[in-house]
Amino acid sequence: MLDYFILAVHSITARKMRTLLTMIGIFIGVAAVVSLISIGQGLQDAVTEQFENMGVDKIMVMAKGSFLGIGDKIFEDEDAEVIRKTRGVKRAGGMLYKSLQVSTRDETKYTFVTGIPQDETKEIINSMSSFTITHGRDLKKGDRYKAVVGSWVHQGKFFDRKVDIGDSIQVEGKKFEVIGVISEIGNPQDDSQLLISLDVARDVLEEPDKLDIIIAQVNPEENVEIVAERMSKDLRKSRGYDEGDEDFTVQTSAQLMESFGSIFAIISAVLIGIAVISLLVGGVGIMNTMYTSVLERTPEIGIMKAIGARNEDVFKIFLIESGILGLGGGIIGVILGVGISKLVEIGIHATGVTFISAYFSWYLIVGALSFSFIVGVLSGILPAMQASKLITVDALRYE
């Protein structure tokens, strides 16, 4: 068996240029696939992690067609009350977000301001968030014009000037005292936000009882999906909509995660599908090289057969040769692919989005290597069959 390998390696190294070109064909495709998968996987992991922080016992109620509640403000306190009273709900609370004008002494910018309730429903909102307070303190009941700021605001990455605890900051012309800073979340939007208490947010927006999104936590012994069903029914009734016509959506955190997952799956399938085409082309290249190799070595094959090599021996030699071409291309491709996605990762981090990192699972690497080996072997089957079926006398006589 080892002899076959030595023979194959020998004939591969005998034609360096052709081998190199054939391998380039494979490794370009493998590098594209590996880097696309690892970046896509990293993106998906980052999003999944954010959802996992929410916990599986949460249900979100948002305006239909909105993204996480950003859009029309359709809910009011009484909707939150309906949700709270739904059987199986432990507690529920709502939030308000809006992009508002925020200014320091010498700068004015727009950023998202989130109104968070400070009564007993605060806990549910906090249990969903992945951040902690790094400086100062959190908002508490009774706080009026106080604000907790994102880490970029604190570090001076949002405004030119750093904003510290005790500084004042204006939201739509109203003065707020900065009392705390939250830990870095890893994307520019969240790290530039301001958290204020819900009552104050409503004063500033002049919307006395509106809510963007209502979050409910389900009692531990209840089935989340069933409670969600019940909740949409109650809410439909109180808002006066028929089934299918409602202006809101009720989603459990598992459903939310699933819908994100399937979007990712579609996008990566399309991208990888297109990238795999180049692997296919690379495979055709291997086939071509192997046919050429068979042609060139026809007299050699004749000699091997004349001194007693069986058909399957000849077949094996050529198959191993094409497998090595594929695998060699795969190894270089994996190394290149890892390099490319590391470069992309550095690029992404440079824009301030630090929660996304390329992810290399061992089965991606093993998968890429075995796939390229298989491409090599498959492309070699026809040429190897041709070689093994050569008639000895004809082969010896050839040219």
Partner 1 sequence: MIGDFFILALKNLRRRKLRSWLTVLGIFIGITAVVTLISLSQGMRDSINEQFEKIGKSRIMIVPGGAFFGPMSSSASVDTLSEREAELVNKIHGIELASGIISDTGVIEYKDELESFSVWGMHTDSERTKYYKSIGLLDIGKGREFKASDNHKAIIGHKIAYETYEEDIHVGNKITINGIDFNVIGIQNEIGTGMHDSLIRIPIESARELFEKPNNIDVIIAKVADGENIDDVIDEIEKVLRKYRDVDEGEEDFSVQSSAQTIEQLNGILAMVQGVLVGIAAISLLVGGIGIMNTMYTSVLERRKEIGIIKSVGARNSYVSLLFLIESGMLGTVGGIIGLLLGYGFSKVAQLAASMFDVSLVPSFGFSLILGALLFSFLIGAMSGLLPARQAAKLQPVDALRKKR
Among 114, 289, 322, 388, binds partner 1 (CB under 8 A): 289
Radius of gyration in angstroms for the set of CA atoms belonging to the chain, rounded to a whole number:
31
Q: Alpha-carbon distance 47 to 117, whole Å? A: 25
Any contact of residue 95 with partner 1 (CB under 8 A)? no
Cα separation, 81 vs 234, whole angstroms = 11
Three-state DSSP class for 187?
coil
Specify the residue, 151 or 386, whose C-beta has the smaller distance to partner 1: 386
Q: Is 241 in the site for partner 1 (CB under 8 A)?
A: yes
Tell me whether strands 213-218 and 58-63 are parallel, antiparallel or unpaired: antiparallel
Q: Which residues pair with 174 in a beta bridge?
A: 171
Give the nearest distance from C-beta 211 to partner 1 in angstroms.
14
Alpha helices in the chain (DSSP H): 2-14, 16-54, 77-85, 122-128, 151-155, 188-191, 198-205, 224-239, 253-296, 298-306, 311-350, 362-388, 392-397
Q: Of these, 4, 5, 18, 300, which contacts partner 1 (CB under 8 A)?
A: 18
Cβ–Cβ under 8 Å, residues 196 and 146: yes
Please report whether residue 101 would count as binding partner 1 according to CB under 8 A: yes
Considering beta carbons, is residue 108 or 223 the nearer one to partner 1?
A: 108
Nearest CB to partner 1, comparing residues 284 and 346: 284
* Residues with Cβ within 8 Å of residue 10, at least 6 apart in sequence: none
Q: Mark the segment that binds partner 1 (CB under 8 A) among 19-27, 251-259, 315-323, 356-364.
A: 19-27
The answer to whether 24 contacts partner 1 (rule: CB under 8 A) is yes
Q: Kindly state the number of chain residues that form the binding site for partner 1, as judged by CB under 8 A.
A: 48
Q: Is 22 in the site for partner 1 (CB under 8 A)?
A: yes
- Judged by CB under 8 A, the stretch of 88-96, 119-127, 159-167, 237-245 that binds partner 1 is 237-245
With contact defined as beta carbons under 8 Å apart, do 114 and 195 qualify? yes
Query: Do the beta carbons of residue 353 and residue 188 sit within 8 Å?
Result: yes
What φ, ψ does residue 108 adopt, rounded to 5°? Answer: -130, 130
Q: How far is it, in rounded angstroms, from Cα 327 to Cα 27? A: 9
To partner 1, the closest distance from the beta carbon of 225 in angstroms equals 26
Smallest gap, in angstroms, from Cβ of residue 143 to partner 1?
A: 21
State both tokens at 163: 């904003």
Regarding 203 and contact with partner 1 (CB under 8 A), the answer is: no
Q: Which of 170, 268, 291, 313 binds partner 1 (CB under 8 A)?
A: 291
How far apart are the C-alpha atoms of 231 and 123, rounded to whole Å? 21
Cβ proximity to partner 1, 25 vs 323, nearer residue: 25
Q: Which is nearer to partner 1, 257 or 331 (CB)?
A: 331
Cβ contact 100:170 at 8 Å: no
Binding mask of the shown chain, residues 107 to 136, with x at each position contacting partner 1 by CB under 8 A: -xxx--------------------------
Binding site for partner 1 (CB under 8 A): 17-18, 21-22, 24-25, 28-29, 32, 36, 70-74, 98-101, 108-110, 172, 204-206, 240-242, 245, 247, 270-271, 274-275, 277-278, 280-282, 284-285, 287-289, 291-292, 296
